[in-house]
A and B are shown apart, each in its own frame.
Chain A
Amino acid sequence: MTLLSDTFKRLHAKKALIPFITAGYPTPQLTVPMMHCLVENGADVIELGMPFSDPMADGPVIQKASEAAIKQGVDLRKTLTMVAEFRETNEHTPVVLMGYLNPVESMGYEVFIKDAAKAGVNAVLLVDSPPEESAELQNQLRKHHLQQIFLVAPTTSHARQQLICQQAAGFIYYVALKGVTGSADLNPETVNSHIQQLKQLSELPIVVGFGVKDASSAVAVAAEADGVVIGSALIKTLEGSQDAQETLQKVADFMCPIRNALDSL
């Protein structure tokens, strides 16, 4: 049993709410308090973004957050330290690291996975490491009982869906739209029908992300899915915040209506 599968089992018919924040944004000091605040306000899993200089799959909001975090000295090691600090008082909320391959290659797969496991990370999602290129990464992940989350896109062929479902662990992340994170043109009907198809191929929980921005869009795409990921919209509300109190209040204000809406489904 892993923390992720336990979490989804415990949720049962309830929908998982998975906020995404970029480690070190708006400030490095705020990341751990924000993670706790997210949990207090209904987060079931936390996705923590590892800032990267060239976030090819991200829209302007997450790009800016990454740049700001890097400017403040946040790297992979600091990100892992943040997870370890979070784990000092929270053992039950799964943490998924999301980012790009180059910083991981630079640190070395073995060192990264070992240290991530030690810090209390449960899974990793590397946007530019598809199943075809992930053999070595998977070896290391297995050694340390970590899971690799894969994306499935609206453009993913049936054959690739099968390949991805075979290798996926933890949950499957369905990309709700053709575009980068934070895009606007979400179409819930297509999302729901794609998720129905995916459910035929995998027993894993399926969560939806990219373009989910508030309670109503969350509810719209959660009909068939097991959970939703919200990133850009959350990060956007934090723009310009420096003050701890104010930032945490904004996080709570953002999360509550979405949690309530999902619970009333």
Chain B
Amino acid sequence: MTQKFDNLPDETGHFGRFGGNFASETLFHCLEELKSAYQKLKNDPEFQQQFNKDLAEFVGRPSPLYFAERLTHEQQGAQIWLKREDLNHTGAHKINNTVGQILLAKSMGKKRIIAETGAGQHGVATATVAARMGLECIVYMGSVDIERQAINVFRMKLLGADVRAVDSGSKTLKDALNEAMRDWVAHVDDTFYIIGTVAGPAPYPAMVRDFNSVIGQEVRKQSIAQIGRFPDALVACVGGGSNAMGLFYPFIQDKEVLMYGVEAGGKGLETGQHAASINAGKVGVLHGNRTYVMSDDAGQVTETHSISAGLDYPGVGPEHAYLNDIGRAKYVTVNDDEALAAFHTLTRKEGIMPALESAHAIAYGLQLAKTMSPDKHIVINLSGRGDKDVHTVAEIEGVSV
């Protein structure tokens, strides 16, 4: 899992001009402690063995690489493959990371687990591994998100987590992250903070990427076995960017494999109501790292909008900011209505209901496939399943369930 595919970040946690350690002083000690614990463990065969065993037996990996025959037929372009992270235990890629971090927490002797969550997927994935390890778990969640993701809130509670509503700022994911940081500062001695995406201060962006890179590593093997070669293009949605980094990272040196990150275009970039930090944000500092941030002229972080709570974040992982700058990956946007249409298309054509986050990747993948010839292959990361979004879709379409 910890195979190195390039030399980033550097010693100080930077990806080019992005990333770094813009944390408040109280946290430095635990960040250093975390960094050295992670560095030691990631090269420890016993730790790797345990991690791989958990991924296989608890998460259910490897997840299949599925050929979407009817979608492919319909687009009359490139062959479309789906990486089925939706089939993981708890229904999304988020569990790959929490399985890794909880092992780290355990080995560091931490008793108390905290996490932030937006859609609730990372909260559920954290509550799940905490329950399995018998550790106390507190999940911070914006009060707006608590309302729109009621099922996941209840799932977390069933798993024994204490879900705390965050009422500051925009009452969404970014504020939940702020609150988790505040909790951590106050409980540094016994608490492990499981961040849910490739953001935050170093070492989080690289660590979360490494734990999720099992996605891309499997695709390398599966594509050789099923296609006979690597795919021509990879497509993944980008909120903070963990499912996308997990897929992209193992292919970083394989320059012939194109990469597309799909940001939430919300109601359209021109409306200002979106969450497309790379496409429409500017360089700034948020949550401990330098990256693209959606902020106003005064540098206040702005409220974002997306039909999918999991993409509703005003920053983006610093490694994506870097990949964008060097041109290795391309970042595009898909609007709410396009994502919703893709949700229906995949459900009807393949019998797979995607998470609204993943539906963004599907929507772009379909557009992309059309522009490519049938001898090309694209892999779309189906980062999660759509059960959690059924209510949202029903509500948008005026159906009461």
Contacts and interface: CB of A to CB of B under 8 A. Distances in A.
A, B co-complexed: yes
B268 interface: no
A105 interface: yes
A216 interface: no
Interface string B204-227: 000000000000000000000000
A152 B26 CA distance: 8
B376 interface: no
Given A54-B178, A128-B288, A156 B23 contact: no
A105 B283 contact: yes
A198 B25 CA distance: 15
A259 B293 CA distance: 42
Contacts of A59: 182
A155 B29 contact: yes
B295 interface: yes
By CB atoms of chain B within 10 A, which of A53, A63, A67 has the most?
A53
Interface stretch (B90-98, B238-246, B298-306, B366-374): B298-306
B21 interface: yes
Given A56-B182, A101-B285, A157 B300 contact: no
A104 B187 CA distance: 29
A105 B300 contact: no
B300 A70 contact: yes
Given A53-B300, A67-B169, A178-B186, A106 B25 contact: no
A150 interface: yes
A11 to B, nearest CB: 25
B24 interface: yes
B182 A132 contact: no
B181 A56 contact: yes
Q: Is the interface of B mostly helix, strand, loop or mixed?
A: mixed
Contacts of B283: 105
A104 B282 CA distance: 13
B58 to A, nearest CB: 33
Contacts of B388: none
A183 B186 contact: yes
A56 B285 CA distance: 12
Contacts of B286: 54, 102
Classify chain B's interface size.
Answer: 35 or more
Contact of B23 (A52, A60, A105, A130): A130
Contacts of A105: 283-285, 290, 299
B28 A130 contact: yes
Interface string A222-235: 00000000000000
Contacts of A255: none
A101 B289 CA distance: 11
Interface string B269-289: 000000000000011111110
Contacts of A244: none
Contacts of A102: 284-286, 293, 295, 299-301
A153 B299 contact: no
Contact of A106 (B28, B282, B290): B282
B125 to A, nearest CB: 23
20 contacts: A57-B26, A57-B182, A75-B298, A75-B300, A102-B285, A102-B300, A105-B284, A105-B299, A106-B297, A106-B298, A128-B22, A128-B23, A128-B285, A133-B22, A151-B25, A151-B26, A154-B26, A155-B28, A156-B25, A178-B26
Interface of A: 52-57, 59-60, 63, 67, 70, 75-77, 100-107, 127-130, 132-133, 150-157, 160, 164, 175, 178-180, 183
